[in-house]
Amino acid sequence: MNAAVALIERVLPSTVHLQSRIPESHPSARILGTERMGSGTVVDSSGLVLTVNYVVLGAEQVRVTLLDQRAYVAELVRHDYASGLALVRIPEEHLPALPLRRTTDLAPGDDAFIVASVGEGGVRVASGAVSYIGPFDANWEYVLDRAVMTTAMNPGLGGGPLLDTQGRVLGVVSLNLNEIGRFSLSIPADYYLDGRDALLGGRAPSATTRAWLGIFCYAVKDHVVIAGLLPGGPGEQAGLKAGDVVLAVDGQDVGDRRSLYRLLWAHRPGESVTLKIFRGREMCTVTVASGDVEEFFG
């Protein structure tokens, strides 16, 4: 599909550029940096902009620039750590907002395109097709029960819209992938639609908070290896180390990354989690007082 010129002209004014400034003292600064840029989508004419969480996480200031170069300091409405979305608001009304579409009837092969900011006043478009709809897990204690991957590469900064041929937002582009035929990952718009009322009310969409260890990990065969730990996080404080192989959680075997996360999330923040670890040539157990990701990042 080559996105029609008229369609592109209609959706471009709803795609915005975000620039965030994060204090060096914030826990995310060492991983994501203190100056971040991203894309966003106007989803309500009252000034609501939907983007990805990592662009604005820990920001002391978020600046939003429209296609016509009008710029505003945005207010953070809410993070959603579970989905990876964030919602900000700019003090402007009567903005051109894009409609959102649920992905329940989306299928592999459907045409889609991505619009992304490449800096203040600049946008790029990439066309492709949906190549995968299903579960996705990442190395930072993150799982989407439903994610959308496309053959379109993100042509700019993360956080912009994945759109259908009618200009409806299917999702928010989050990551670039290195898989053949699966070049970009989007968080489906369903997550925002389902949690919109809670987000606008300043609440997390999920009523259940879950344990968090502050680990980064990858799967090897039937086990999960800790690749790194967030400085000051519960895992580091408990003595977990990069290279530890996680064999079990509370006596239940860990076969892959998703099973590790699900076992952790059976606990609430503050509860102890016991991990069976293979370290070097020895087996040991490490008990971690789990934390709350939202409290940690503030």
* 116 part of a folded domain: yes
Q: Which two tokens stand for residue 231?
A: 């400085």
Q: What is the pLDDT of residues 12-25, one digit of tens each?
A: 999 999 999 999 99
> Are residues 179 and 122 part of one domain?
yes
Q: Over pLDDT 90: what percentage of the chain? A: 91
- Encode the chain in three state secondary structure: CCCCHHHHHHHHHHEEEEEEECCCCCCCHHHHCCEEEEEEEEEECCCEEEEEHHHHCCCCEEEEECCCCCEEEEEEEEEECCCCEEEEECCCCCCCCCCECCCCCCCCCCEEEEEEEEECCEEEEEEEEEEEEEEEEECCCEEEEEEEEECCCCCCCCCCEEECCCCCEEEEEEEEEEECCEEEEEEEHHHHHHHHHHHHCCCCCCCCCCCECCEEEEEECCEEEEEEECCCCHHHHHCCCCCCEEEEECCEECCCHHHHHHHHCCCCCCCEEEEEEEECCEEEEEEEECECHHHHHC
- The whole-angstrom separation of Cα 218 and Cα 198 is 32
Q: Name the pLDDT band for 2 (thresholds 50, 70, 90).
A: low
> Are residues 223 and 156 part of one domain?
no
When divided into structural domains, the chain yields a total of 3
- Which CATH number does the domain housing residue 37 bear? 2.40.10.10
- Structural domain for 71, as ranges: 5-89
> Are residues 81 and 119 part of one domain?
no
* 205 part of a folded domain: no
* 177 part of a folded domain: yes
Neighbours of 266 (CB within 10 A): 14
> Are residues 143 and 82 part of one domain?
no
Global pTM value: 0.95
> Are residues 227 and 196 part of one domain?
no
* 44 part of a folded domain: yes
Q: Is the pLDDT of residue 1 over 60?
A: no
* 100 part of a folded domain: no
> Are residues 243 and 173 part of one domain?
no
- Which CATH number does the domain housing residue 288 bear? 2.30.42.10
> Are residues 222 and 157 part of one domain?
no
* 48 part of a folded domain: yes
* 193 part of a folded domain: yes
* 94 part of a folded domain: no
pLDDT of 188: 99
**Mean pLDDT, rounded, for 281-285:** 96
**Mean pLDDT, rounded, for 104-108:** 97
> Are residues 130 and 187 part of one domain?
yes
> Are residues 32 and 84 part of one domain?
yes
> Are residues 219 and 286 part of one domain?
yes
> Are residues 292 and 222 part of one domain?
yes
pLDDT of 207: 64
